[in-house]
Amino acid sequence: MQIGFNLPTTGPLIEPDSLVRIVTEGEALGFDYVTISDHIMVPSNLQSKYPYTGTGEFPAGASAAWLEQLTTTAYVAALTKKLRFVLSVMVVPHRPAVLTAKVLSTIDHLSKGRLTLGIGVGWCREEFEAIGAAPFDDRGNVTDEWIAACQELWTAEAPKFNGKYVSFDDVVFTPKPLQKPIPIWVGGESAPALRRTVRYAHGWYPVGTNPQHPMNTVSTFKQGLERFHGFCQRGGRDPKEIALAYRVLIGPGVRPRGSIEGEAELFTGGDSDWVGDIRRLKDLGVSSVDVRLFGYGEAQTLQGTIDNMHRFKDGVLSRLA
């Protein structure tokens, strides 16, 4: 089981010294990977609904400062030796496809192959419009075309592509990524996300707390897994070829142990509950779980976050070995 932690890209811990301390401490403590989130500019008048809260409220708010994801990932790569970094997730239509393919290839090259590309289509219409991204209502098709264009650039000796949003020919694209291929994890629980996973991905990367597609008990996780397997069957893909990762938006002790319809709610309660939950998911085929260890209670400070990371190492990581 691979265990990751979330790096702050918004809030009071985005100063350089804080980021250096958090990411190097995570590597020293034995975490396998760090996740890095993506927002560029969230307008102050936000009507779009965030998909992972019951109310649709965006937890970070519309006025928060944000670090740019790919720049931050390059910074993290230079600070570390072994730690992988997972884009969690990159909103594909936010950036031009060819330029992004070059940035990602460069990061993978300079980090000696430590990048995992988590992708999503995005949920915030206002952000798309504010940054001049591709049309929000066609973001699924944009994402599919973008992925195909990137894969062409990353693999073909003489890449060429002719799509609705991306076209190129008679170009040289080097260096290629060190990894062949860069692993792609598709975030999301919707039918289009599952079809995209089957078509392109090396991993499926759901969040368990989507009210539309909950996977936050063992029973609902099994139901989600059965649904995923159905998409694999219809798409002609062996589900064993696709890794299962699971994203958790809190850490141990933030919420007391809860139940849903008489069944324990995953990733609530304390360390022992979390150890059991991770083992249950491992038994169901999950190979990666990442958690958020900052931004609540004492963990709004740097020292509180570092203390939280050490508690997680002692109370959870050490018991999974």
Tell me: the pLDDT tens digits for 299-318?
689 999 999 999 999 999 99
How many domains is the chain built from? 1
Strand-strand pairing, 263-264 and 259-260: antiparallel
**Exposed, middle or buried: residue 201 (CB in 10 Å: 0-12, 13-18, 19+)?**
buried
- What Cα–Cα distance (Å) separates residue 12 from each residue in 9, 17, 297, 319? 9, 12, 13, 31
Confidence (pLDDT) at 244: 98
| Whole-angstrom distance, CA of residue 215 vs CA of residue 120 | 18
- Residue whose C-alpha is closest to residue 146's, from 99, 215, 82, 213: 99
Residue 7's nearest CA partner among 305, 316, 296 is 305
- The first and second tokens of residue 63, run together, are 């006025």
pLDDT-based confidence at residue 157 (cuts at 50, 70, 90)? very high
pLDDT, tens digit, 9 for 90 and up, residues 178-214: 999 999 999 999 999 999 999 999 999 999 999 999 9
Closest CA to 192 of 223, 221, 231, 239: 231
What pTM was computed for the model?
A: 0.95
Task: Indicate the DSSP class of residue 314.
Answer: I
The model's confidence at residue 52, banded by pLDDT at 50, 70 and 90, is confident
Torsion angle defined by CA atoms of residues 133, 139, 142 and 144, in that order, rounded to the nearest 10 degrees: 140
Q: Which domain holds residue 142?
A: 2-320
Lookup: tokens for 3: 């265990």
- List of residues 6+ apart from 55 with CB closer than 8 A: none
| CATH code for the domain of 276 | 3.20.20.30
Average pLDDT, the chain: 94
- pLDDT (tens digit, 9 = 90+) per residue, 228-273? 999 999 999 999 999 999 999 999 999 999 999 999 999 999 999 9
H or E segment to which residue 17 belongs: helix 16-29
At residue 60, the pLDDT reads 66
Cβ–Cβ under 8 Å, residues 120 and 210: no
Q: Is the peptide bond before 135 cis (omega within 30 degrees of 0)?
A: no
SS3 category, 57: coil
Confidence of residue 298 (pLDDT cuts 50, 70, 90): low
The terminus-to-terminus CA distance of the chain in angstroms comes to 9
Sign of CA dihedral 120, 126, 127, 131: positive
Which tens digit of pLDDT belongs to each residue from 70-108?
999 999 999 999 999 999 999 999 999 999 999 999 999
